Chain A
């Protein structure tokens, strides 16, 4: 009986590893897809049953922040606005009606209600001339009085008015002191 010795393939050792690596990559990819699918299902179920569910699609450009971006008005959060005021560079401007301002406002804020901006030309002029950063706010993230006032201030010569978008609501939520009266 004639025995033929099978020729050894010098690459079979590495080939084994290579196929193992390919298999492992494929199974890792398959598992990654499963994770992504499970996450997707969880996200859908969670948003359908969430007490504070949000719409799947929303028109963000209609929001105050989106409109500010279109008008090149810089939007800042409380941390930046407060930092600027503390450094002595910024001054808060309250765009809400006088009655709301008198009920409570950020300490040191100047009241320039949107409705009466034309009547306060001198105050606005001196604020612009002071070179301070004008940080405009209104009630909350939904109101647009502050945005409209910031646009008006820009028209009147303010170089870069800032919109503190969280407004008085964010100030109160963060535990800031509240001043009342004129």
Chain B
């Protein structure tokens, strides 16, 4: 293994761990499904029938992906692609609501009554996370490339 490959492997693991940590920090969505369902509803992007199902399903996708990123190396790449897809969807949802002038928080990491409304910072944070996922995927490709 070359020195570059070692660096890429390190970057891959580190980026994967950070993404996993961020995904696990949304655990409140599992503990308080009603609060998260309300957050999903407040995006006003889904039909009523899909709100609760989405609110129940999304946190578990995040959690299972995070666990795969940490503990199941064989599933890490698949989990990273799913994380990227979720981030694209979340960012799109936030962008649409910012354009609509929504006053509510995104419910990404909590649903305190005095939570700050979503803003450009929410999008910047998601873009940074997407970059991190991209770095992990790219590093993985380079780390295991044949010299």
Contact = CB atoms under 8 A, between A and B. Distances in A.
Report whether chain A binds chain B. Answer: yes
B33 interface: yes
B56 A47 contact: yes
Contacts of A76: 103
Interface stretch (A49-57, A103-111, A122-130): A49-57
B6 interface: no
Interface string B38-55: 000110100011011101
Contacts of B132: none
How many of chain A's residues touch chain B, expressed as a range?
35 or more
B60 A77 contact: no
Which secondary structure dominates where chain B touches chain A?
helix
Contacts, number: 108
23 contacts: A28-B77, A31-B74, A32-B79, A32-B81, A35-B68, A36-B61, A42-B60, A43-B56, A43-B57, A47-B33, A52-B33, A52-B34, A56-B52, A60-B41, A66-B41, A69-B44, A75-B104, A77-B103, A77-B104, A79-B115, A80-B117, A174-B113, A174-B114
Given A36-B82, A40-B60, A56-B53, A78 B75 contact: no
How many of chain B's residues touch chain A, expressed as a range?
35 or more
Which secondary structure dominates where chain A touches chain B?
helix
Contacts of B51: 58, 60
Interface string B111-126: 0111111000000000
